[in-house]
Amino acid sequence: MVIPPDPRRAQTKGQRTRDRLLRAAIDRFGAEGFRATSVSQLSRDAGLTPAAAYAYFTDKEAFWAAAVQADLDDLDSQIRVQALSSDRPLFELMMGLVAGLQRHALARRVMEEGTPEDLLLVLEHRLFSGTTKVIADRLRTRRDAGVLPENSDPVVLARGIETVMFAMVISVVRAGLEGDSDRLWSVVEVLRAAAGGPPTPAEVAARTGSPLPT
């Protein structure tokens, strides 16, 4: 994995060293997992001594959390722009996530084997939390058109849908369903139906009692 440099400033030697350690951690943790990896291994992979590595990360847990965050950042940057510019953002996000996890061994390992704390890191990452506004905007449109009850809270509903999407991705990955296109499509349809889009003519007609346009 390549961690892109910050375009706003030239990296210092310390920043470059930290990035080298992060790349080593992403690769090693992704291949072998948390328990089978030592700080000594990560240090050697980065061409440093353990003492030098501890100057950047206080312990193995800190290495792990930073590596997971960096790998999720990279995955997010690969799928978010395309997804959120699409008229089917949930479809693009879901399919992009499933495909992207094939290329991001550490992110996939967390989804497959992660502890509750690890999974919380993923759920709180903008990869999932960033979808809340997109979903809420669509639900707000439906509420304002009378398709949803007036007292519906789009943000609360969107957070629930985001959580369901997270659970669905975990289920797909852990059960190895990536190649089951029918099941994947059905999952996406559930999300689309839940998040909705602009009210359909049939929904508007049912709400207002008006005949459907011919």
CATH of the domain at 178: 1.10.357
Same domain, 41 and 73: no
91, 188 contact by CB (below 8 A) = yes
Q: What CA–CA distance (Å, rounded) separates 27 from 148?
A: 46
Q: What CA–CA distance (Å, rounded) separates 94 from 178?
A: 11
Count structural domains, the chain: 2
Same domain, 107 and 34: no
Residue range 60-108, pLDDT digits in tens:
999 999 999 999 999 998 888 777 777 677 777 778 888 888 899 999 9
Same domain, 50 and 70: no
Same domain, 50 and 83: no
Q: Structural domain of residue 199, as residue ranges? A: 61-208
pLDDT at 204: 56
Q: What CA–CA distance (Å, rounded) separates 164 from 167?
A: 5
Q: What CA–CA distance (Å, rounded) separates 121 from 30?
A: 16
Same domain, 73 and 29: no
Same domain, 144 and 77: yes
pLDDT at 28: 96
CATH of the domain at 26: 1.10.10.60
Q: What values do phi and psi take at 36, rounded to 5?
A: -85, 0
Q: Let me know if residue 2 belongs to a domain.
A: no
Q: Let me know if residue 6 belongs to a domain.
A: no
Give 117's pLDDT tier (boundaries 50, 70, 90): very high
Q: Let me know if residue 7 belongs to a domain.
A: no
Same domain, 20 and 121: no
- What residues contact residue 57 under an 8 Å CB cut-off, 6+ apart? 21, 39, 63, 66
Among the candidates 22, 38, 58, a domain finishes at: 58
Same domain, 54 and 78: no
The number of helix segments (H) and strand segments (E) in the chain equals 12, 0
Q: What is the pTM of this model?
A: 0.77
Q: Is 145 exposed, middle or buried (0-12, 13-18, 19+ CB in 10 A)?
A: middle
Show contacts of 187-191: CB within 8 Å, 24+ apart. 187/94, 188/90, 188/91, 188/94, 188/95, 191/90, 191/91, 191/94, 191/161, 191/164, 191/165
Same domain, 53 and 70: no
Residue range 136-195, pLDDT digits in tens:
887 888 888 887 888 889 999 888 888 888 888 888 888 888 777 788 778 777 777 776
| C-beta atoms surrounding 2 within 10 Å | 7
| Per-residue pLDDT at 4 exceeds 60 | no
Same domain, 98 and 178: yes
40, 60 contact by CB (below 8 A) = no
37, 46 contact by CB (below 8 A) = no
Q: What is residue 150's DSSP assignment? A: T
Same domain, 160 and 112: yes
When pLDDT is averaged across residues 6-13 and rounded to a whole number, the result is 62
1, 75 contact by CB (below 8 A) = no
